Amino acid sequence: MFKCDCCGQCCKNVGKVKILERLADESGACRFLDAEKNLCKIYKSRPLFCNVDAMFKVFFEDKMTREEFYNLNYEVCEKLKKRII
């Protein structure tokens, strides 16, 4: 299972991703993000692309290993935390 530290940076930056723009509020953050708790308000029914494990299974399982996919996701996490993206 993907180890998310719940920093909220991916959710705070959905407006920067073209296919996710519709989820963004006026600040560019996901409209389903509880900003006080840094948690998703619709976690159990969140979109597929918000679920790293489901995305791997549906779109990437035949293209790379789970470890490779996780590592790519962790790289993006670190860049978001450092505001490189």
List of residues 6+ apart from 62 with CB closer than 8 A: none
Start-end of H helices in 1-85: 9-12, 52-55, 66-81
**For the whole model, what pTM was predicted?**
0.84
pLDDT band per the 50, 70, 90 thresholds, residue 85 = low
12 falls in which pLDDT band (50, 70, 90)? very high
The pLDDT tens digits for 18-72 are 999 999 999 999 999 999 999 999 999 999 999 999 999 999 999 999 999 999 9
Buried b (16+ CB within 10 A) or exposed e, 31-46: ebbeeeeeebeeeeeb
